[in-house]
Amino acid sequence: MTAEIINGKELSKELKLEMKAEVDILKRKGLTPHLSVVLVGDNPASKSYVKGKEKAAAETGISSSLIELPVSTTEAELLQLIQELNEDDSVHGILVQLPLPSQIREQQVIEAIHPDKDVDGFHPSNIGKMMTGEDTFLPCTPYGIITMLKSKNITIEGKHAVVIGRSNIVGKPIGQLLLNENATVTYCHSRTKNMQQLAAAADILIAAIGKAHFITVDYIKEGAVVIDVGINRQPDGSLTGDVDFESAKEKAAYITPVPRGVGPMTITMLLKNTIKAAKGLSGIE
């Protein structure tokens, strides 16, 4: 058996076409969704991510602006900028690119963004709504994963899902979203004793640990769905995931590649959240 590939790049293209049609309708009603991105410092990976977000926004007709600040920016200066963006009616979504320089506390910044403009889905208010199953902005990578599963009509309800990794950005929220879809969820992390045994019992396995090829074929149940969130840079400059793809694809029923898997979906769901924010703030549907 060779697994069916869940191609995030292709799915993201389809979703962006749908969003472009929606944005065109909103524009005719006088509303252009606008995303404001703040980049502090000159982290090369962050710059690359931001460029990808700008390109994707342009493809869907969403307006975007980039505010670049020096690495020496103080926390107070950044918080003042966020307050100005909160009060700017032309801005519907605010994204502060992480990581931030060491003098700035990330949690302070996340909490400063108004929940109605929090298109990253990280504000405690939006995380709380996600926990209780209310309508809110969902964190983009977990939102993308659920969308990928549903695009293949993969049953989540009643399935045993194992999440390897417990970050606030991916691990914890994807487990909650799977629980909201009525899966039974097990979290594994650096202190888990019998991780391989637990993973090998998963109908849906989410690998978000940040270690290249950590998940070998022994971690995978025959016929499982394997979602690889890892993005690891190889010595030759190429990207690879947390899963040993070549062996895993012979045992899994579905698998995501790296690249062209979860990554493109993260940016796509950010744009989806931006459209949702614009509609919510303007009252225009």
Residues marked active site are found at 53, 97, 120
CA–CA separation, 65 and 228 (whole Å): 31
Q: Beta-carbon neighbour count of residue 231 at 10 Å?
A: 17
The residues, ordered by sequence, that sit 6+ positions from 220 with a Cβ below 8 Å of its Cβ are: 199, 200, 205, 226, 248, 251, 252
Q: Do 36 and 85 contact (CB within 8 A), yes or no?
A: yes
Q: Do 124 and 111 contact (CB within 8 A), yes or no?
A: yes
Q: Beta-carbon neighbour count of residue 282 at 10 Å?
A: 15
Which of 202, 250, 196, 256 shows the shortest CA–CA distance to 231? 256
Q: Beta-carbon neighbour count of residue 53 at 10 Å?
A: 22
Could you tell me the CA-to-CA distances from 173 to 41, 117, 206 in Å, in that order? 28, 19, 12
Q: Do 109 and 74 contact (CB within 8 A), yes or no?
A: no
CA–CA separation, 23 and 35 (whole Å): 13
Alpha helices in 61-138 (DSSP H): 75-87, 106-112, 124-131
